[in-house]
């Protein structure tokens, strides 16, 4: 089950535990989903302090496919990317908030600097990133395209960022 910061089991009625998956379990779920002809979209991020820009982005990402998997940077990964004061919210709390969003089908944590390992394991039909990323710099884009998938770049909401909220 899912555990909070103190290591206590989280009430399943409060946390849709089926949303937060370990990779092996997730891959089995996605295989079953694909058997029904559904397409998988994947995106990733820190999602530290959830704001309207995140929600707009995730809604647009979900519209690209039948199922949306969000790769969530672990706390150590966020610190490496954003600096020692981040994340503001723990990975358990960030996952909890994402899992409550109706547009997010699955959340999977990753600790590496990039989600390439997840992308190659999941093999999404659609890889989604913000339009602030040039396609040539999107991690996993070449692998997804080589497997017959596509890359979607989503326009970001103006003046909405966690970093902007904190400064």
Listed residue (140, 109, 113) closest to 124, CA to CA: 140
pLDDT band for position 5 (cuts 50, 70, 90): very low
Range with the largest mean pLDDT of 17-21, 28-32, 49-53, 119-123: 119-123
CA 84 remoteness from chain centre = 22
| pLDDT tens readout for residues 41-57 | 999 999 999 999 999 99
Give the pair of three-digit tokens for residue 31: 């295989």
Listed residue (16, 166, 9, 8) closest to 87, CA to CA: 166
The answer, yes or no, to whether residue 76 has pLDDT greater than 80, is yes
The answer, yes or no, to whether residue 1 has pLDDT greater than 70, is no
pTM: 0.84
Enumerate the β-bridge partners of residue 45.
72
**Cβ neighbours for 23, distance < 8 A, ≥ 6 positions apart:** 108, 118, 121
Give the pair of three-digit tokens for residue 86: 């981040």
């Amino acid at each position: 089950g899912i555990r909070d910061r103190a290591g206590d089991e989280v009430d399943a009625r409060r946390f849709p535990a089926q949303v937060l998956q370990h990779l092996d379990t997730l891959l089995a779920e996605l295989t079953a989903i694909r058997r029904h002809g559904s397409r998988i979209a994947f995106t990733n991020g820190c999602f530290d302090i959830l704001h309207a820009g995140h929600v707009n982005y995730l809604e647009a990402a979900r519209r690209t496919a039948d199922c949306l998997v969000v790769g969530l940077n672990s706390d150590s990964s966020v610190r490496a990317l954003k600096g020692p004061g981040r994340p503001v919210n723990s990975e358990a709390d960030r996952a909890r908030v994402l899992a409550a969003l109706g547009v997010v089908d699955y959340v999977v944590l990753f600790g590496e600097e990039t989600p390439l390992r997840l992308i190659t394991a999941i093999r999404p039909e659609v890889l989604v990133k913000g339009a602030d990323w040039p396609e040539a710099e999107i991690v996993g884009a070449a692998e997804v395209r080589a497997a017959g998938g596509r890359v979607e770049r989503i326009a970001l909401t103006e003046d909405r960022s966690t970093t902007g909220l904190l400064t």
